[in-house]
Every structure is written in structure tokens, then in C-alpha cells.
């Protein structure tokens, strides 16, 4: 996050800058889901560093979701031990038994509940290989972890931002297929399970609802004529 980002003007859809924004937002979501917030990140959030990113989301029509996440961030000050309590929420939601938690793996929702490393993980691993993507050594997660998938989507948007406007049709079709088949197919159930899991802070359930609506909006956008 950085306070130097500007949100003064909504960007034209399909512009290079617009796709770059979507890449940054996808990368932000991925970073939030791959590990717990540390103390420097919490300090940055309390200082308002998320405001530019939330501003982008509001400009893109996700104002209600952005406001809800901002409210959850403001609520960090009400926690007695923010880092520890948010880490406990992260563990409860994403690290517990997949049969009883909101495990962030596509295989758990597109197959038998609580299942791991099924067809969604194999498809995603193939996508990563085809794109020449090697996960960092500290990311010890299956390929169908939501953070990995959002990181992949961020890369697709970065590549799209480098294409001439007349050559965006094919990569947009690929993004549309990825969103429809690999993300929007299970994110509603995932975000709903997050909302139903008792936690101390609304931060992560609100975040996952935002990600669900963000991906649904990106799918509708990619399918425009």
C-alpha cells in the first residue's frame, strides 16, 4: 500500500491504466489472504493507507463494499490486541479443518466438502505452468488457494494493460473464462461461509464479500461487447 496513489478521476474502462488498477487490487487481495496481518501492516492500515485502494473500488461501483471494509478497518482500534485477534480470525476462517471452516481452496467447494487437491487444483497448477509462474518458496499452498488464483489474475491484468486497445479481445476472453470457471463458480459459497463463521472482527468476512463482488463485476465487464 502507498499513500501516493491518487483517486481524483475515474479511469475509462478498458484503458491501460484501468487494467493496471485491477491488477493492483487483485494483488492487494492476494496479499491479504496469503498470510496474517503483521504489525507494520496494521500500522499502515490505521494510518489510512488503504484509502486509495478503497477509493478505486468505489469509483468502480463497489462503494458499499469498500465502505464496509473501511468500517472494519476503523474497528481495529476497538480490539484489545489487534494483531493477535485478527490472526486468530485468520486461523479460524482459513486454517482450520476445511469441513468446518471457510477454507480458501476451490477444491473444497467444487467437489466434496473438505476435499483438497482435486481437479480445480490440477487445472490451476497447469495454468501456472503454462504462464511460467513459480510460486515463492514461502507460499506452501495448493495452486487453487484463493490468494494464488488472485495473484494469477493480477498477472493477467498486468499483461492486458500492456496490450494495444485493438488487441484486448483475446486476453479479455481468457480472463472471462478464468473468472467464470475458476473463481465465480465457488466464491459465493466461500464468502457466505466466511459470513457464517464466528469471528472477533468483521474484517475478513467483509473482505471476502468484497472479493466475491469484485470478481463478479470483473466477469460482467469482460463479457461486454
Asked if residue 176 lies in contact with residue 222, where contact means CB atoms within 8 angstroms, the answer is: yes
Taking residues 202-208, report their average pLDDT: 98
- Per DSSP, the three-state class of 163 is coil
Phi, psi of 118 (to 5 degrees): -95, -160
Q: Are 57 and 25 in contact (CB under 8 A)?
A: yes
> 103, 115, 116, 8: which is closest to 56 by C-alpha?
8
Annotated domain spans of the chain: 16-222
Spatial separation of the C-alpha atoms in residues 4 and 109, rounded to whole Å? 38
Report the pLDDT value the prediction gives residue 2, as an integer from 0 to 100. 35
pLDDT tens per residue, range 52-78: 999 999 999 999 999 999 999 999 999
170-198 pLDDT, tens per residue?
Answer: 999 999 999 999 999 999 999 999 999 99
Q: Output the nine-digit C-alpha cell for 101.
A: 471452516
Return d(Cα 218, Cα 213) in angstroms, integer.
9
Q: How many angstroms separate the CA atoms of 114 and 46, rounded?
A: 35
Report domain 16-222's class.
mainly alpha
Amino acid at each position: 500500500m502507498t499513500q501516493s496513489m491518487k483517486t481524483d478521476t475515474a479511469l475509462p474502462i478498458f484503458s491501460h491504466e484501468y487494467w493496471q488498477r485491477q491488477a493492483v487490487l487483485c494483488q492487494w487481495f492476494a496479499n491479504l489472504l496469503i498470510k496474517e496481518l503483521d504489525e507494520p501492516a496494521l500500522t499502515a492500515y490505521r494510518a489510512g493507507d488503504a484509502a486509495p485502494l478503497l477509493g478505486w473500488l468505489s469509483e468502480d461501483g463497489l462503494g458499499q463494499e469498500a465502505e464496509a471494509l473501511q468500517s472494519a478497518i476503523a474497528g481495529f482500534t476497538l480490539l484489545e490486541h489487534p494483531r493477535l485477534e485478527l490472526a486468530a480470525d485468520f486461523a479460524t476462517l482459513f486454517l482450520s479443518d476445511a469441513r468446518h471452516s471457510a477454507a480458501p481452496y476451490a477444491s473444497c467447494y467444487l467437489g466434496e466438502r473438505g476435499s483438497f487437491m482435486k481437479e480445480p487444483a490440477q487445472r490451476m497448477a497447469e495454468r501456472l505452468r503454462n504462464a511460467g509462474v513459480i510460486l515463492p518458496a514461502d507460499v506452501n499452498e495448493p495452486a487453487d488457494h484463493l490468494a494464488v488464483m488472485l495473484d494469477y489474475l493480477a498477472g493477467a491484468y498486468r499483461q492486458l494493460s500492456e496490450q494495444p486497445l485493438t488487441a484486448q479481445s483475446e486476453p479479455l476472453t481468457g480472463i472471462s473464462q478464468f473468472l467464470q470457471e475458476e473463481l465465480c463458480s465457488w466464491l459465493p459459497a466461500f464468502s457466505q461461509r466466511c459470513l457464517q463463521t464466528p469471528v472477533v472482527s468483521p474484517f475478513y468476512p467483509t473482505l471476502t464479500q468484497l472479493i466475491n463482488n469484485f470478481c463478479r463485476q470483473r466477469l460482467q465487464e469482460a463479457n461486454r461487447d
